Structure 1
Amino acid sequence: MLQLCKLTDSLLISNSRSACDDGLLSGEGVTFCINVSKQQPFPGLRIGILRVPVFDDPAENIHKYFDRCADAIEGAGKAGGKTLVYCKNGRSRSATICTAYLMKYRHLSLREAFELVKSARPAVEPNEGFWEQLQRYEGELQSRQIGANSSTNG
């Protein structure tokens, strides 16, 4: 079944088959795609694209893309657009990137962010290595917040 699962007003998640259905993307108003894979195709539409070249392998460093992807999703949303994040099956890589975005910009805990993604797309299941990288990112975001608060209060 072809479908785009809505996480927020400006963020969707899917698999690569759905992501390459130009009619589906046009219908949803998608303006930017993040392809979290090394080999999956991009849609044919002329929209913004970003490739995150990682395999669904626990040893892959997906963490180094968290801020860049989150900032791109937020930027597209602020410009009035919608971002679709996808990987081959829409289960591990894309879910990891979406969860990182929700933690950074929606200020959700890892558990809250993941539950939001899982409720929109029940098939999601980041691999063990990606989950550990999300746990590390949650700690980093908390440290940044503490640092930002102490510099504004001083």
Structure 2
Amino acid sequence: MLTLCRVTDSLFISNSRSACNENLLVQARIAFCINVSRQQPFPSLQQVRTLRIPVFDDPSEDLYRYFEHCSNAIESTVQSGGKCLVYCKNGRSRSAAICTAYLMKHQNLSLKDAFEIVKTARPVAEPNAGFWSQLQKYEEHLQMHHQVDLSSK
């Protein structure tokens, strides 16, 4: 079944088959696609901006170093009124980790709460063990920075 799963009003997650379905993208008014894979194709819609995050779904891959960049790219699209789609081959591990990181950073959610939202939107979501521990590390990083922000006000 081809479908884009709605994580928030402006953020969607899917597998690559759905992501390359132009009707779905047009219907959802997707402005920006993050392709979290090395080989998966991009949709061929000219008006959609794209970003490739070249990682395999492998626990030893370093997805952590892309969390900040992807989260900020999603947020700037959302702020300008656009909608984002994050996808990987199966829409399970890599894309779920990126969506979770975004929610943690820009909605100040814990890893547990952020992942709950992603999992509700896309029940097959399941970051691999390596990505999960990178999300835990990111949560600690965000909490530290959040405390710094609060103490500097």
**What range describes the TM-score normalised by the shorter chain of this pair?**
over 0.9
Structure 1 residue runs of 4+, over 6 Å off? none
Aligned pairs (5 A) from 1:56-95:
56-95=57-96
Give the secondary structure class of the aligned counterpart of 1:41. Answer: coil
Q: RMSD between aligned alpha carbons?
A: 0.4
What's the CA shift for 1:84? 0.1
Measure the CA separation in 2 of the matches of 1:23 and 1:146: 44
Aligned equivalent of 1:12: 12
What's the CA shift for 1:102? 0.3
Aligned equivalent of 1:101: 102
* 1:130 to 2:135 alignment: no
What's the CA shift for 1:150? 1.2
Measure the CA separation in 2 of the matches of 1:139 and 1:78: 26
Measure the CA separation in 1 of the matches of 2:146 and 2:117: 22
Measure the CA separation in 2 of the matches of 1:149 and 1:125: 32
Aligned equivalent of 2:33: 33
Measure the CA separation in 2 of the matches of 1:108 and 1:51: 25
Aligned equivalent of 1:150: 151
Unaligned regions of 5+ residues in structure 1, if any? none
What's the CA shift for 1:77? 0.5
Measure the CA separation in 2 of the matches of 1:98 and 1:143: 20
Give the secondary structure class of the aligned counterpart of 2:44. Answer: coil
| Letter of the structure 2 residue corresponding to residue 103 of structure 1 | M
Aligned equivalent of 1:22: 22
What's the CA shift for 1:49? 0.5
Aligned equivalent of 2:56: 55
What's the CA shift for 1:2? 0.1
What's the CA shift for 1:140? 0.2
Give the secondary structure class of the aligned counterpart of 1:50. Answer: strand
Measure the CA separation in 1 of the matches of 2:8 and 2:117: 9
Measure the CA separation in 1 of the matches of 2:87 and 2:18: 9
CA deviation map 1:77-102 (0-9, x unaligned)? 01110000000000000000000000
Unaligned regions of 5+ residues in structure 2, if any? none
